[in-house]
Amino acid sequence: MSRRVSLPGASELFGGAAPKQTQPEKRTTTDGPATTVRSRTAVVDERKSSGRIRHDTKITVYVTEEELIGLEKTRLALREEHGLNADRGRIVREAIDVLLADFVDHGPDSVLVRRLKASE
């Protein structure tokens, strides 16, 4: 007889999948049926980084050593200078959220478009 204890996994302890972050606005027009329309401002106002929740999707991103060191220095500075504890993943998710919000808000004048054009 085994003395090993069977414990529940993390998914059983902490619940199921995370809820969706945003839902489209519904607007009606006098010309026809309701359509789903989202203004840039509404998307920017609704957007919020996922922060500390269970994430079901994963991507792999390769960075240079300098980028990784910069990310780690930022993490340490956030902790030391601002009293904020954030892991590298959280910082990256926040950075992505800020960049995407800027793109939605400014389109062709966004930082993302300017930087991608400059790197061509």
**102 within domain boundaries:** yes
Whose structure tokens read 């607007």?
A: 27
- The domain total for the chain is 1
DSSP track, 10-37: HHHHH-SPPPPS----EE--TTSS-EE-
Nearest-CA neighbor of 52 among 82, 93, 15? 93
pTM of the model: 0.56
Q: Tens of pLDDT along 69-106?
A: 999 999 999 999 999 999 999 999 999 999 999 999 99
Residue 35 located in a structural domain: no
Q: Between these two residues, 99 and 26, which has the higher pLDDT value?
A: 99
Does the pLDDT at position 16 exceed 60?
no
Confidence bin at 1 (pLDDT 50/70/90): low
Cross-strand partners of 36: 26
